[in-house]
Structure 1
Amino acid sequence: MLKQSLRGKTVILTGSSMTTSILNRIQQLGGEAHAFPLIKIVEILEPYDHMQLEMARNFDWLIFTSQNAVDAFCAKMVRHKFFPSMIKGKIAAVGEKTRDRLEANGLTVDFMPSIYSADYFIEEFPTIIEGKPRCLFVRGSKAKDTIKNGLPFSVDEWVVYDTEDFLEHIQSIVNIIKSKEQPIIIFASPSAVNVFAIHIAPIVGWDSVKIASIGHITAHAIEKRGGHVTYQPNTYTMEAVIDEISNEEEEWND
């Protein structure tokens, strides 16, 4: 039986995709888990997507930094009957989940940075590259310019999805924060942080919650908006942040 390090704790997840396994793990640790997305991912559909796929197959490298980009890209592959074997170049991925999603769709990952961040990617990726490869960054509309501007060679971009505010759960989150003692809220992206800052923080404040962040970019967005990050694992995954929360809470309760 797992330690009950989250007994009496309420945990709110705000990302666009929540796995049952994460919710179950929180509950197994004794916590009360809620999945209340503050953002939603929408694939961008264009009439020339099939032409973009034809172009993509001829790049030396395809770069993915999120599961959402993989999902949108692979949805286009299925829609236009484009098979993994048709990709001629290599693939770089930031993050285990991104890699796993690529491999689940039949695509082989040839490079991952040691830390799952675009900042580390632009430092490490050039060290394995010879010459000036043709690279395509498959991204979302709100992705930063870190990869395009940070690599020492030309990078083309294909924006395949948009991140939209999702306000359906605002009142539910407010109600939980008002009724529970410092619930723990997990942020996995600056976009979710911004929705909280605009629609929830003015009502309940930042000090009414404990905040967990996945990634230093997300943590910076939280601090910039006036929040304080209590839990931030070195590994940028949901599993790691749950472990971090569990370990910290266990220490405080000892």
Structure 2
Amino acid sequence: MDSKQPLRGETVIFTSTKKSEEPFDLVKRYGGTPVSLPLIKTRERFASDDETQLEFATSYDWLIFTSQSAVAAFEQKMERFNKDASAFNVNVAAVGDKTANALERIGFRVDFIPQVFSADVFVKQFNPEGESLRALFIKGNLAGTLITTELSLTVDEWTIYETLPETSHADEIVELVKAEPSVSILFASPSAVAVFKDRVVPSLNWTGYTIGAIGHITERALQEAGASVTVMPETYTLPELVQSLAESKRKELI
């Protein structure tokens, strides 16, 4: 096998919602076949006070985003109520380069990104100067409590999107693993792990394919579910996970 295409013959299944072509293009560049079979889906959460909440958001010192899904839902609310980034004279914190890029695309300047793209690292590194600072954590329904409870400044929450199980792809994952000679399955969240454990593992167990994870929290969820994680990148993004997978497969050729 050509070491420049270490994923040749590999079917790479992405279990997260597709947000960019970059990781799929990388799989193809390395000779593999990318397949999008998300096990979760997100949708904006609507409330009667959305317009009021959006107006309140302009009064905070910091806005905190931990996912591209939060940015997308926030953008939808801005468009619905005719606001743009210029209405927000606030500092912005983002967990992850992709989240930061999504914010910049809609006109925000990102003032803080943690070195490791995880909420538990964020709360250790985020320490803005100033007295009586107030932050708004713009979040999904499954977000943990660390950011709200562990920061020194006052943090309010606004839940603007929901993460839901997407079970319709479970059977297809089972069929691919059984049919293809070599399969890697990539996980980007504990939510996808939970659906996989409930709907896929009973038909497959945790063996016969390579498992990759973004982030130590997702890795821990997989391990607690009984999986052995082969690949996890130092930088918590899907492109880096694909790069790490390619490097792992390349080493197998040596």
User: TM over 0.5: same fold?
Assistant: yes
3-state DSSP class of the match of 2:72?
A: helix
Distance 1:211 1:133 in 2: 42
3-state DSSP class of the match of 2:168?
A: coil
> Which residue does 2:115 correspond to in 1?
114
| Count of residues in correspondence between the two structures | 253
> Which residue does 2:142 correspond to in 1?
142
3-state DSSP class of the match of 2:71?
A: helix
Return the letter of the residue paired with 1:198. D
Matched, 1:57 2:19: no
Return the letter of the residue paired with 2:218. T
Superposed, which structure 2 residues align to 1:86-97 within 5 Å?
A: 86-97=87-98
> Which residue does 2:80 correspond to in 1?
79
Distance 1:114 1:246 in 2: 24
Q: How far did residue 131 of structure 1 move?
A: 2.0
Distance 2:79 2:19 in 1: 23
Assess if the C-alpha contact under 8 Å between 2:7 and 2:31 holds in 1: yes
Assess if the C-alpha contact under 8 Å between 2:233 and 2:241 holds in 1: yes
3-state DSSP class of the match of 2:220?
A: helix
Return the letter of the residue paired with 1:29. Y
Distance 2:153 2:205 in 1: 44
3-state DSSP class of the match of 1:15?
A: coil
Matched, 1:165 2:165: yes
Distance 1:108 1:23 in 2: 28
Return the letter of the residue paired with 1:248. S
Return the letter of the residue paired with 1:36. L
Q: How far did residue 152 of structure 1 move?
A: 1.9
- Output one character per residue of 1:48-69: Cα deviation in whole Å (capped at 9) or x when no partner: 1110011000000000000000
Superposed, which structure 2 residues align to 1:84-233 within 5 Å?
A: 84-126=85-127, 128-233=128-233
RMSD over equivalenced CA pairs, Å: 1.4
Distance 2:36 2:6 in 1: 20
Gaps of 5+ in 1: none
Q: How far did residue 182 of structure 1 move?
A: 4.6
TM-score, normalised by the number of residues in structure 2: 0.96
Assess if the C-alpha contact under 8 Å between 1:18 and 1:35 holds in 2: no
> Which residue does 1:28 correspond to in 2?
29
TM-score, normalised by the number of residues in structure 1: 0.96
Q: How far did residue 14 of structure 1 move?
A: 0.6
Q: How far did residue 20 of structure 1 move?
A: 2.5
Return the letter of the residue paired with 1:7. R
Distance 1:102 1:178 in 2: 40
Superposed, which structure 2 residues align to 1:233-248 within 5 Å?
A: 233-248=233-248
3-state DSSP class of the match of 1:155?
A: strand
Assess if the C-alpha contact under 8 Å between 1:15 and 1:188 holds in 2: yes
Deviating above 3 A after TM superposition, structure 1's stretches of 4 or more consecutive aligned residues are none
3-state DSSP class of the match of 2:79?
A: helix
Distance 1:87 1:57 in 2: 5
